[in-house]
Amino acid sequence: MKPVNEAKVTFLSRSANEGFARTAAACFAAQLDPTLDEVNDIKTAVSEAVTNCIVHAYPEALGLVTLRLRLFEDNTLEIVVKDSGVGISDVEKARKPLFTTGGDERSGMGFTIMESFMDRLKVRSVPGKGTTVTMRRRISRRLQA
């Protein structure tokens, strides 16, 4: 299915840019007239994905994070968060609740949270080359008054 609109932005893996990514995704999704709960779910999922890039993909240096947003005719929003960092050696293990490589201050719930707020979550990673997280969420059509 071909997207009806799309946007792409690349930014440094600085923690200040996590808020930027959340806001960019929420503003782009606004075209679908989401509810406040849907917007908050989208922002939370994006926040988790971008924070994973900042904390895990580039633990020793800054790197680039790409956020790609696409809208489809069926009111589906696709969000892709991609890095070229260290990658994940065992994606299945990393997706388990409470697993983290980020130390005691990390909860290990990032992928679990993303999955709970999105309709679909796909994680692809190659150690040493980076990770791509693709999330989809269908926004319910609201009745017009």
106 is an active site residue: yes
Question: What's the rounded Cα separation, in Å, for the pair 127 and 74?
Answer: 35
Residues 3, 47 contacting (CB under 8 angstroms): no
Question: What's the rounded Cα separation, in Å, for the pair 145 and 13?
Answer: 43
Identified catalytic residue from 17, 48, 70, 78: 48
Identified catalytic residue from 95, 106, 136, 138: 106
Question: What's the rounded Cα separation, in Å, for the pair 21 and 100?
Answer: 22
Identified catalytic residue from 17, 18, 52, 137: 52
In sequence order, which residues have a C-beta less than 8 Å from that of residue 28 and are 6 or more positions away? Answer: 7, 69, 71, 77
**What is residue 54's DSSP assignment?**
I
52 is an active site residue: yes
Residues identified as active-site: 48, 52, 106
